[in-house]
Amino acid sequence: MKATSDWKQMKREGDRITMVTAYDYPSARQSEAAGLDTLLVGDSLGMTVLGYDSTVQVTMDDMIHHAKAVRRGAPDTYIVVDMPFGSYHANEDDAVGNVLKLYQQTGANAIKLEGVGCLDIIRRTVAAGVPIVGHLGLTPQSVGVTGFRMQAGTHDAAMQLIEDAKAVEAAGACMVVLEAIPSDLAGKITSTLSIPTIGIGAGVDVDGQVLVYHDVLQYGTDRLPKFVKPYADFNTAGVEGLRAYAEAVKAARFPDEDTTYKRKVFEE
């Protein structure tokens, strides 16, 4: 398993960091078998596996439940877990306690916090021994305010995001996710920081990439964001497989001889 200290070395050596989300034991097992550098148990699980409209409904209990399953499925992979909406926004002491709880109860390697408004929480939790990943640009927990669209599209907004990224690094974050921002801005931030940047909709000039497992594999997703390129089609393969099973049952072709237990337990 890679350690938190490995990320800066990978950045220096130009070794790009691979990350996908994972929300359960099977996706974690597949991702570890595929050799991904790190997994993100994202609060996007609210939409992808729980059927919510947004990440806002996701709770601490949800994150703990899913992160523990991911850890069991990928025991040898570095795992980052999202803090859910409302768990670090009201009271700083409660926020720090929630970070420590999520870190301790899930076996995570790092915890991710969205936005630049949690710098003191980053400082305190890093001081307590918890590696923290930042998240800037489009922050899904704030889409009620920002909307699902590209962020920092003006010069002033771009300059502010650079300052925000520097502040997140100075607070002690070990890496930062940059979502839905112009590619030249992402490249500028990447060259400015000593910690790795992980892009999602931020172009190629970053230190690594993250995508949602279900988007990469087209698994249960009907609509893909602009920045997603799928590499498989589980939707089609899955429906075809289930349809073939149903047809076999209707036609009494399943179970067949190979899938039936045989032993005479009644006299003729």
Q: Tens of pLDDT along 202-213?
A: 999 999 999 999
| C-alpha to C-alpha distance for 178 and 180, rounded to whole angstroms | 7
Assigned CATH for 6-232: 3.20.20.60
Is 43 annotated to bind ligand?
yes
- Report CA-CA distances (Å) from 138 to 22, 142, 146, 201, 240: 20, 8, 8, 9, 36
What average pLDDT does the segment 239-263 reach? 96
* Stretch 136-158: mean pLDDT: 84
| Residue 228 and residue 48 in contact, taking contact as beta carbons nearer than 8 Å | no
Residue 240 annotated in ligand binding: no
* Selected catalytic residue, list 169, 179, 247, 257: 179
The answer to whether 39 and 18 have CB atoms below 8 angstroms apart is: no
CB atoms within 10 A of CB 2: 15
44 is in an annotated binding site: yes
Question: Which has the closest alpha carbon to 158: 188, 135, 179?
Answer: 188
Take residue 83 and report the two structure tokens written for it.
Answer: 């803090």
Q: What is the pLDDT of residues 17-44, one digit of tens each?
A: 999 999 999 999 999 999 999 999 999 9
Predicted model pTM:
0.95
Q: Which of 120, 116, 74 is nearest to 99 (CA)?
A: 120
Residue whose C-alpha is closest to residue 185's, from 215, 157, 216, 158: 158
Is 143's pLDDT higher than 80? no
| Residue in 71, 116, 119 with CA at minimum distance from that of residue 92 | 119
Is 199 strand, coil or helix?
A: strand
Kindly state the tokens that stand for 39. Answer: 């997994």
The first and second tokens of residue 67, run together, are: 């992160």
% of the chain beyond a pLDDT of 90: 89
Whether residue 179 lies in the annotated active site: yes
For residue 180, the SS3 value is coil
Q: How confident is the model at residue 223 (pLDDT cuts 50, 70, 90)?
A: confident
Reported as a single tens digit per residue, the pLDDT across 56-72 is 999 999 999 999 999 99
Q: Give the pair of three-digit tokens for residue 191.
A: 């060259």
Q: Which of 231, 152, 210 has the alpha carbon at shortest distance from 185?
A: 152
| pLDDT of res. 4 | 94
pLDDT for res 256 = 95
Q: What are phi and psi of 47, to 5 degrees?
A: -85, -40
The stretches of the chain forming alpha helices (DSSP H) are: 6-13, 25-33, 45-48, 60-73, 92-106, 119-127, 143-146, 155-171, 183-192, 213-216, 234-250
Mean pLDDT, all residues of the chain: 95
Q: What per-residue confidence (pLDDT) applies to 268?
A: 65
